[in-house]
Structure 1
Amino acid sequence: MNKHFLFVEANTTGTGLLAIKKARELGFTPVFFTEKPERYHGLNELECHVVVTDTKSQAELTDSVAQVIKEGREIAGIMSTSDYYLESVAKLARKFGWTGNSLEAIEACRNKAIFRERLQVHQVTQPEFVAIGSLEALIEARSSISLPCVVKPADDSGSNNVRLCFSWDEVEHMAAEILAIKHNARGQETARTVLLEQYVEGPEFSVETFSWQGQCFVIGITQKRLTGYPFFVEAGHIFPAPLSTEEKQEIERTVERALAAVNYQFGAAHTEVKWTSAGCVVIEVNARLAGGMIPELVRRSTGIDLLLQQIRCAAGLAPELSQTIEEQCYAGIHFLVSESQGTFSGMHGMDTVRNLPGIAEVAVHAKIGQSVQPPQNFSHRLGYVIVEGKHYSETAELIQQVKDSLKVQVGQQLESGV
């Protein structure tokens, strides 16, 4: 009898529903638990048993999983590709004895205030920070954090409500906005905790790792480019990042210490860092695969299918990873965003871009007539272009050509895709 593999919800971009297909490739029968099947375009076309349940309720979700087990299905493991359900999955894995990180490790990654405290205890380099649960606490916080500072919710995802603030009026306004949010995008109760962090200047990178029984494999380091200032929206990536051996080694060592600080034992992690004059500074650890199509860049560069390995790991199977990761090429992505608010009317220069050498994939998700705006989080992206090059310089130059050639049409106005 085939084993079943459980999924609790999914992200709505990137690896979400692709994970279901990968589970089938490994010989598992996928079971997908969701509150709203209509949220996932194409779900009804997949060979997948869908269980509709209130995934916001741990008790109801647990009952639904128990019912699947009672029906005689043998379960290989469980996972979610969405940040919002990582804690629910950890609780289920602990209850039913499946492979996964401890609830405490996941909570430390999901709640950035707890994460900061863990890193502080283990003396891992990070920004100065203060966590507050009320506007009254801001008065005391002023003596601990200098301006400008980054204001963010402790437990959201996708750079939602993350902003660089230059005055205490801005800080108070942003903090009040975050504290007023009682439920996140999936209807779950929020921690209603605000994190104030020292603004760290320097280029940003992410480190893609995979852990098995506490042993950490560094898959590679991704160079990141941001847009949407004063918000923090990823505009593009190149994998692998152009770093010296010394920089690479320090970043890897720092990230390994950060993962050890939260007792990260299993599966993919996506750690964001900045490189400064003082070395590597840890911004956050995400207890999941990277978003932003980074796993696809990794696959194109190294041949490693991180999503497939993540499912293997959750099923209790050791990952198929070499001690030495070799990159065959560079892979980059450029996200399409609008520079102004209005109505999307199309893309100019698409034929030119498609005919450029090294273009691997072009995707436009925006629909004609939909509202667009300058990006404040990942959901404001309109599409992407993936490129490949033999060298970093070739890849970076190709991305620049894409930026120069593709224009987002908003109303009657032609504008750059940034």
Structure 2
Amino acid sequence: MNRLLLFVESNTTGTGMLALKKAQAYGVTPVFLTNKPERYLGLAETGCQVLMCDTNSLEELRQTIETRLAVNQLCGIMTTSEFYLVTTAKLAELYGLPGNPPEAMEICRNKAKTRQRLSEEGVEQPRFAIVQDPAQIPAAMAAVGLPCVVKPVDDSGSNDVKLCHTVEQIEQQLAVILAEKLNTRGQQRERAILIEEYLDDPEFSVEMFTYAGQTISIGITQKQISGTPFFVEHQHIFPAQLSTETAEQIKDTVLRALTAVGIQNGATHTEVKVTSKGCAIIEINARLAGGMIPELIHQATGIDLLEQQIKAAMGECTIHKQEVASKEYAGIHFFLSEQEGTFQRAEGIERVRNMPGIHNVTITAREGGQVHVAQNAYHRLGYVIASGTTYTETEKRLTEAVRQIALVLEERQEAVPLLQPAPG
């Protein structure tokens, strides 16, 4: 019998299209449900079946599945997009397929609900307040203090996340967030913001995988964030450089957080900060990490998390039987511009490709496209991936690669350096 693995939309980076290709290697037929096929570069080359429908409507998705596919052939349903985690969980539950509880996905997708649940369970996190109109800001300030981080409760990619130092800045950011009625996928945004204590401490992400009642730690990723007031992740190195004691403290805190929100199946990507008081949860993403972190893990450990996520959706995962050990270090640096302009070309790419330890150099900016000083992940212009036998070697290779690359913007007709990695 032909087995069908359904994908409801995907992220727009390489992971989404790669998942469709990988699925075919497991003897299943991938079916891609989308409301906008042209959003995905390389979709036609995957060879999967594409069905168009309103993927923001659970009812239309159900009707499409039941009228155009053989339901008895469904073996799994998944997504690589943050915006369709709840939808996928509800469909999996409807058809009796492996997945996470819809309630758990709703808690993870809504950062305010995450904060409330972690607070109820006593899991360490920043002080916070939920605000829906300007009249609630004074009470929020009394609870959180200044400076503070202001963010939408249900967006992704650091979109509209900003550090605010005054009440006026908070009011302005509230207005910006509430003015956007829909997210980038055309879904209704929550009419609320989250105000959080600003923790000026090192940031990490913890990659875990849950299956068959077991949650295992894949490892911890060390991150670099662009300068405030915005928070754009622009460098990851796996595994992080941490003492055994600190690493265990981080893993324990994250495991308690995942238990609190109800994770049952698949990969999670939890962002944390390590403060003088211990580990604090920043947010929980109930999906594979973005930012090419699964590729770094594959390079460093040999474990293919995307493969395991596909198998988990079909109830065939084996990761809980594997030993996780890093053979080397792997890192990625995303290209960010310090200038505004129109992208013409990048210089130095071929030179960097020939440097030791460099695995991939990709420019995602398109000729004639607008270049912004980065305020969110959508303003990244490309990336370089490198590996090394030590953390320091990997970091140095990334730094040298970025120094060798420059942008040419049409308005300037001269090479503009990229934002350089911060020391150490």
The TM-score normalised by the length of structure 2 is: 0.96
- Who is 1:414 aligned against? 415
- Who is 1:243 aligned against? 242
- Who is 1:127 aligned against? 126
For residue 349 of structure 1, report the CA deviation from its aligned partner. Answer: 2.1
Q: Are 1:344 and 2:332 counterparts?
A: no
For residue 413 of structure 1, report the CA deviation from its aligned partner. Answer: 3.6
* Residues 49-58 or 405-414, more deviating: 405-414
* Residues 290-299 or 132-141, more deviating: 132-141
For residue 353 of structure 1, report the CA deviation from its aligned partner. Answer: 1.3
- Who is 2:189 aligned against? 190
Determine if contact 2:178/2:192 at 8 Å carries over to the other structure: yes
Distance 2:396 2:274 in 1: 23
Determine if contact 2:230/2:376 at 8 Å carries over to the other structure: yes
Q: Are 1:55 and 2:55 counterparts?
A: yes
1:314-329 equivalences in 2 (<5 Å): 314-322=313-321, 324-329=323-328
Q: 2:3 corresponds to which letter in structure 1?
A: K
* Structure 2 residues not aligned, in runs of 5+: 420-424
- Who is 2:40 aligned against? 40
- Call closer, same or farther: CA 1:228–1:51 in 2, change over 3 Å: farther
Determine if contact 1:228/1:376 at 8 Å carries over to the other structure: no
Q: Are 1:15 and 2:23 counterparts?
A: no
Distance 1:300 1:322 in 2: 20
Q: Deviations over 1:98-140 (max 9, x none)?
A: 1101011001100000000110011111000001112222132
Q: Are 1:66 and 2:86 counterparts?
A: no
Determine if contact 1:16/1:81 at 8 Å carries over to the other structure: yes
Cα RMSD, aligned residues only: 1.2
Q: 2:86 corresponds to which letter in structure 1?
A: E
1:4-403 equivalences in 2 (<5 Å): 4-69=4-69, 71=70, 74-322=73-321, 324-403=323-402
Distance 1:33 1:349 in 2: 39
Distance 1:351 1:155 in 2: 39
Q: 2:251 corresponds to which letter in structure 1?
A: E
Distance 1:12 1:351 in 2: 25
Determine if contact 1:217/1:323 at 8 Å carries over to the other structure: no
Distance 2:59 2:177 in 1: 27
Distance 1:231 1:271 in 2: 19
Determine if contact 1:5/1:75 at 8 Å carries over to the other structure: yes
Give the 4+ runs in structure 1 shifted more than 6 A: none
**What secondary structure, in the 3-state scheme, does the structure 2 residue paired with 1:292 have?**
coil
Distance 2:276 2:142 in 1: 25
Q: Deviations over 1:309-366 (max 9, x none)?
A: 0010011113334453111110000111111111112222223312211001111111
**What secondary structure, in the 3-state scheme, does the structure 2 residue paired with 1:384 have?**
strand
Q: 2:148 corresponds to which letter in structure 1?
A: C
Distance 1:25 1:76 in 2: 15
Q: 2:83 corresponds to which letter in structure 1?
A: Y
Q: 1:352 corresponds to which letter in structure 2?
A: R
For residue 210 of structure 1, report the CA deviation from its aligned partner. Answer: 0.4
Determine if contact 2:211/2:320 at 8 Å carries over to the other structure: no
Distance 2:88 2:155 in 1: 17
Determine if contact 1:214/1:264 at 8 Å carries over to the other structure: no
The TM-score normalised by the length of structure 1 is: 0.97
**What secondary structure, in the 3-state scheme, does the structure 1 residue paired with 2:188 have?**
coil
Paired residues, number: 417
Distance 1:214 1:285 in 2: 19
Q: 2:332 corresponds to which letter in structure 1?
A: I
* Residues 20-29 or 59-68, more deviating: 59-68
Determine if contact 1:14/1:292 at 8 Å carries over to the other structure: no
Determine if contact 2:214/2:320 at 8 Å carries over to the other structure: no
Determine if contact 1:269/1:285 at 8 Å carries over to the other structure: yes
**What secondary structure, in the 3-state scheme, does the structure 2 residue paired with 1:284 have?**
strand
Determine if contact 1:220/1:240 at 8 Å carries over to the other structure: yes
* Residues 377-386 or 405-414, more deviating: 405-414
Distance 1:166 1:327 in 2: 41
Determine if contact 1:181/1:192 at 8 Å carries over to the other structure: no
Determine if contact 1:228/1:375 at 8 Å carries over to the other structure: no
**What secondary structure, in the 3-state scheme, does the structure 1 residue paired with 2:144 have?**
coil
Determine if contact 1:338/1:375 at 8 Å carries over to the other structure: yes
Q: 2:168 corresponds to which letter in structure 1?
A: D
**What secondary structure, in the 3-state scheme, does the structure 1 residue paired with 2:216 have?**
strand
**What secondary structure, in the 3-state scheme, does the structure 2 residue paired with 1:217 have?**
strand
Distance 1:228 1:22 in 2: 37
For residue 43 of structure 1, report the CA deviation from its aligned partner. Answer: 1.2
* Residues 339-348 or 294-303, more deviating: 339-348
**What secondary structure, in the 3-state scheme, does the structure 2 residue paired with 1:202 have?**
coil
Q: 2:149 corresponds to which letter in structure 1?
A: V
Distance 1:169 1:277 in 2: 30
**What secondary structure, in the 3-state scheme, does the structure 2 residue paired with 1:238 have?**
strand
For residue 59 of structure 1, report the CA deviation from its aligned partner. Answer: 1.0
* Structure 1 residues not aligned, in runs of 5+: none
Q: 1:255 corresponds to which letter in structure 2?
A: V
